[in-house]
Chain A
Amino acid sequence: MKLNGAQILIHCLQKEGVKHIFGYPGGAVLHIYDALEAQDDITHVLVRHEQGAAHGADGYARANGMPGVVLVTSGPGITNAVTGIATAHMDSIPMVVISGQVPSPLIGMDAFQEVDATGITRSCVKHNFLIRDISEVASTVKKAFYIATTGRPGPVVIDIPKDITIAEMEMEEYPETIEMRSYKPTTKASNRQIRKAAELIANSERPIFYSGGGCVIGNASKELRELTRMLGFPITQTLMGLGAYPGTDKLSLGMLGMHGTYEANMAMHDSDCVVAIGSRFDDRITGNIEKFCPTAKFIHIDIDPSQISKNVVADIPIVGQTKQVLQALIDELKDKKHADISKWWSRINEWRKVDSLAYTKKSGVIKPQTVIEMLYEVTKGKAIVTSDVGQHQMWAAQYYLFDEPRQWINSGGLGTMGFGLPAAMGAKIAMPDRDVACVTGEGSIQMMLQELSTMLQYSTPVKIINLNNGYLGMVRQWQEFFYEKRYAMSYMDALPDFVKLAESYGHVGIKVEKESDLKSALVEAFKQKDRTVFLDILTDPSENVFPMIPAGGAHCDMLLAGDQMVSKDETDFNAV
């Protein structure tokens, strides 16, 4: 049977098991939409802005592990999606983006709605394709899904000119597998490296596990738990890794880095063996790299060889999937005798007593930390929580103790404001039976507000927790600390009435101004199972995120609540 390029494309997506596409139609993709309309296997979610489509597919992928699929038109369609693609790229999220292109003969002629999609996206994708002939459609789709989901995952763009969607050919069988001589994602770690790592781990006296997003994306949570508990080691997780190891567990020291806990950062600083598992020594983790973990040896486990020794030189690099490497380490260390670390734990427990996440309540204002704690209580710690970017993101990461991987969804690498709402929508579509909360602020939420409309159309009930302090809080915090309180452009003078706004989109809006109303409002919001509820919560505008490592600081130089600066230069590293 002869099919046109658009029909072949849709057929391929069905074969890949795609259930949802997030997209927006336009001239160059009309044939694709026509083919999409003629089938029932794939549900299309019509967003209100292409950036929302990319974030929606991203949230979907992060929640259920399936690749997110995006369909946009040429020109502004793909340029609007770029921020979402870059967001997914920075956090290694599997995604396939199909963009329409002007007909092949018009490429390069500055045609209407033409942009160089492969050129524009080149530096923020894992790979991209421009299809040149209808015969390439099926193999390109196969390659795109293969590349997006294997090795270190990432977004792949397929740019498809309109004439190719119209051309016809006999449909061949969709390839079951694909072999690419130039792309062989490394999977099997070297046994020698595993043995060396096991040796170092077993002999370490002040070890710490530092795990990241690679344990979530690599589905290595089970192995991470097993290994950590088997050894009884302290573990700290990055912003991207939260939940892979349960936040409520006694071995968990919480998050590390710029806004990490006192105990996590101090333990990193004094450790003699840092085991990085699917984490990449990002600058928000290391602070001043010269002063980072001065006494540690580093074991670095990552699927991507280019991450190893990029920021911090690894003593024992292990290239492989986190899941397999951790399993191999479990096997290797199971019967091995290891050094006593009880003294190390007693030091860590001393640091814990600092209680660095403690905060002082003030009468008459709602503390943002209280909101997150109450959200945790009302949802019993079981909700999927997405966030935008800023202070609220840090508070959500610090005070909602995630016990499961894929429960915490945020833009860690790119730090994209506007991510939270469409990501929550995508997560709800992926996991319709779960409660989904979007923790946001009045700044971030206004960047993607239009998706409230999509959420009504597709009945994706999400609870929006808007920590409204009137400021771009993280900007304000830096201005307070480092710009002598010159608050340039961090205050928003004219805000909408969010309750009315939510209502005008057909949702429920609740304003919370007093702490005494907070709990009942949250309970009410989650009781309304079928409705999106917008909780506009007025919070303390002067609150800051603590602890904080100021720029250029070491892990032992932290600013704690109450502007208390701790520094531990006098401490003897080797006094275990």
Chain B
Amino acid sequence: MRHIISVILENEAGALSRVAGLFSQRGFNIESLTVAKTNDMNLSRMTIVSSGSDRELEQIVKQLNKLIEVIKVSDLTSQDHVERELMLVKISSILKDGIDLKELVEIFGCKVVDVTEKIYTIEVSGKTKKINAFLDAFDAANIIEVSRTGVTGISRGKKII
């Protein structure tokens, strides 16, 4: 099962490599990882998407908690949460008949952020499924380049991790 794990950790050199190293060392699966500072400059927040059984997830959470720099670990999937991913994608302007780029941009609520003679650069944000659906709307040959951030997430309402 897919899990979104949120990790609050000290913003120290080497902390990222410790987390990444833990996943490879223990054979845990890692689909995406995003990391940046929080409103507290000394803290980073990392969002990891992983998949595995409940028992594997329990080990992942425990092993993450064991890292000295880690302050808090939370499985967002087990609670009410919001998740988003950002994608920048370059699409060839020469499209197959029947595909209207402007219409798709409108339907998916995304933005055209750059246009050159032959290429549109589009910004898409949303759940992973939506981003995948946007890409699926095009012929593979029309997709020139993709850059995705991976998922970030936050719990809803008053609850903070």
| Interface residues of A, Cβ cutoff 8 Å to B | 118-119, 122-123, 126-128, 130, 132, 147, 180-183, 304-306, 308-310, 313
At the interface, yes or no: B147 with Cβ under 8 Å from chain A? no
The reply to whether the CB of B78 lies closer than 8 angstroms to some CB of chain A is no
Q: Does B14 contact A (CB under 8 A)?
A: yes
For B70, give the chain A residue with the smallest CB separation: A182
Q: In the bound complex, do residue B71 and residue A122 qualify as a contact, i.e. CB atoms below 8 Å apart?
A: no
Q: Known contacts A119-B17, A122-B18, A182-B9; decide if A309 and B55 are in contact (CB<8 Å).
A: yes
Cross-interface CB contact of B68 among A119, A147, A308, cutoff 8 Å: A147
CB distance from A153 to the nearest CB of B (A): 13
> What's the least CB distance linking B65 to chain A, in Å?
7
Stretch at the interface among B56-64, B118-126, B151-159: B56-64
Least distance between A301 CB and chain B CB atoms (Å): 16
Known contacts A122-B18, A122-B21, A306-B59; A130 and B71 CB within 8 A of each other: no
Min CB distance A94 to B, Å, is: 15
Q: Would A305 and B65 be within 8 Å (CB), given that A118-B14, A123-B25, A181-B71 are in contact?
A: yes
> Does B59 lie within 8 Å of A130, measured CB to CB?
no
Q: What residue of chain B has the Cβ atom nearest to residue A310's Cβ?
A: B59
24 pairs across A/B with beta carbons < 8 Å?
A118-B14, A119-B17, A122-B14, A122-B21, A123-B21, A123-B25, A126-B68, A127-B68, A128-B14, A147-B68, A181-B71, A182-B9, A182-B10, A182-B68, A182-B69, A182-B70, A182-B71, A305-B65, A306-B59, A306-B63, A306-B66, A308-B62, A309-B58, A313-B55
CA–CA, A118 and B15, complex, Å: 11
Q: Are A130 and B10 in contact (CB under 8 A)?
A: no
Q: Whose C-beta in chain B lies nearest to the C-beta of A122?
A: B21
CA distance A305 to B70 in the complex (A): 15
Chain A min CB distance to B58 (Å): 7
In contact, A122 and B58 (Cβ under 8 angstroms): no
Interface assignment of B13: CB less than 8 Å from any CB of chain A:
yes
- B binding-site residues for A, Cβ under 8 Å: 9-10, 13-14, 17-18, 21, 25, 55, 58-59, 62-63, 65-66, 68-71
List 13 extra interface pairs beyond A306-B63, A309-B55, CB under 8 A: A119-B17, A122-B14, A122-B18, A122-B21, A123-B21, A128-B14, A147-B68, A182-B71, A304-B66, A305-B65, A306-B62, A306-B65, A310-B59
Q: How far apart are the CA atoms of A132 and B65 in the complex, in Å?
A: 25
Q: Is the CB of A130 within 8 A of B13?
A: yes
Q: How far is the CA of A151 from the CA of B17 in the complex (A)?
A: 23
- B66 vs chain A, min Cβ distance (A): 5
Determine the distance from Cα of A349 to Cα of B16 in the docked complex, in whole angstroms: 55
User: Looking across the interface, which residue of chain A has its beta carbon closest to that of B13?
Assistant: A130
Distance in angstroms between the alpha carbons of A180 and B9 in the assembled complex = 12
Q: Which residue of B lies closest to A304 (CB)?
A: B66
Chain B min CB distance to A211 (Å)? 22
Give chain A residues whose Cβ lies under 8 Å from the Cβ of B62: 305-306, 308
- Chain B: CB-nearest residue to A308: B62
**Complexed CA–CA distance, A275 and B9 (Å):** 35
Query: What A residues does B68 contact at CB under 8 A?
Result: 126-127, 147, 180, 182-183
Give the distance in Å from the alpha carbon of A309 to the alpha carbon of B69 in the complex. Answer: 23
A130 near B14: Cβ-Cβ < 8 Å: yes
Distance in angstroms between the alpha carbons of A305 and B58 in the assembled complex: 10
Q: How far is the CB of A280 from chain B (nearest CB, A)?
A: 13
Residues of A within 8 A of B70 (CB): 182
* A122 and B66 form a contact (CB under 8 A): no
Which residue of chain B has the shortest Cβ distance to A180 in the bound complex?
A: B68
Rounded to whole angstroms, the CA-CA distance of A53 and B18 in the bound complex is 26
Query: Given the complex, which residues of B lie within 8 Å of A308, measured CB to CB?
Result: 62
Q: Which residues from B are CB-within-8-Å of A128?
A: 14
Shortest beta-carbon distance from B115 to chain A in Å? 41
A305 to B68, CA, bound (A): 14
Are A122 and B17 within 8 A (Cβ)?
A: yes
What chain B residues lie within 8 Å of A130 (beta carbons)? Answer: 13-14
Q: For A119, what are the chain B residues with a Cβ–Cβ distance below 8 Å? A: 17
Give the docked Cα–Cα distance between A361 and B13 (Å). 61
Q: In the docked arrangement, what's the CA distance between A415 and B142, Å?
A: 56
Residues of B within 8 A of A181 (CB): 71
| A132–B13 CA distance with the chains assembled, in angstroms | 10
The list of the 5 closest CB pairs from A to B, nearest first, reads A306-B62, A127-B68, A182-B71, A123-B25, A183-B68
Contacts of A180 in B (CB 8 A): 68
Inside 8 A of A123's CB, which chain B residues have their CB? 21, 25
CA separation between A181 and B69, bound complex, in Å? 9
Report A-chain residues with C-beta under 8 Å of the C-beta of B9: 182
Cα–Cα distance between A119 and B68 once the two chains are bound (Å)? 15
Kindly list chain B residues whose C-beta atoms are within 8 Å of the C-beta of A127.
68
Chain A residues with CB under 8 Å of B10's CB are: 182
Measured CA separation A130–B80 after assembly (Å): 39
* Complex Cα gap A304–B70 (Å): 15
| A72 CB → nearest B CB, Å | 20
**What is the chain A residue whose CB lies nearest that of B18?**
A122
In the complex, chain B residues whose CB is within 8 Å of the CB of A313? 55
* B71, chain A: closest CB distance, angstroms: 5
Residue of B nearest to A124 (CB): B25
Interface centre among B9, B59, B68, B71 (most CB of A within 10 A): B68
How many angstroms between the C-alpha atoms of A308 and B18 in the bound complex?
22
Using Cβ atoms and an 8 Å threshold, which residues of chain B touch A118? Answer: 14
Q: How far is the CB of B36 from chain A (nearest CB, A)?
A: 18
Nearest B-chain residue to A306, judged by Cβ: B62
In the complex, how many angstroms separate the beta carbon of A439 from the nearest chain B beta carbon? 33
Cβ distance A145 to chain B, nearest Cβ, rounded Å? 13
CA distance A313 to B54 in the complex (A): 12
**Residue of A whose beta carbon sits closest to that of B72:** A182
Which of A128, A180, A183 has the most CB atoms of chain B within a 10 A radius of its CB?
A: A183
Tell me the smallest distance from the CB of A499 to a CB of chain B, in Å.
Answer: 45
In the bound complex, residues from chain B placing their C-beta under 8 Å from that of A182 are: 9-10, 68-71
Residue in B closest to A151 when the chains form the complex, CB atoms: B66
By a CB distance below 8 angstroms, the chain A residues around B25 are 123
Return A307 CB to nearest CB of chain B, in Å: 9
- Rounded to whole angstroms, the CA-CA distance of A181 and B71 in the bound complex is 7
Within the assembled complex, what's the spacing in Å between the Cα atoms of A310 and B58? Answer: 9
CA distance A313 to B14 in the complex (A): 33
Nearest-neighbor residue (CB-CB) of B71 within chain A: A182
Which of B17, B59, B62 has the most A CB atoms < 10 Å from its CB?
Answer: B62
- B59 cross-chain contacts in A, Cβ below 8 A: 306, 310
B28: shortest Cβ distance to chain A, in Å? 12
**Cα–Cα, bound, A183→B69 (Å):** 7
- Chain A residues with Cβ under 8 A from B65's Cβ? 305-306
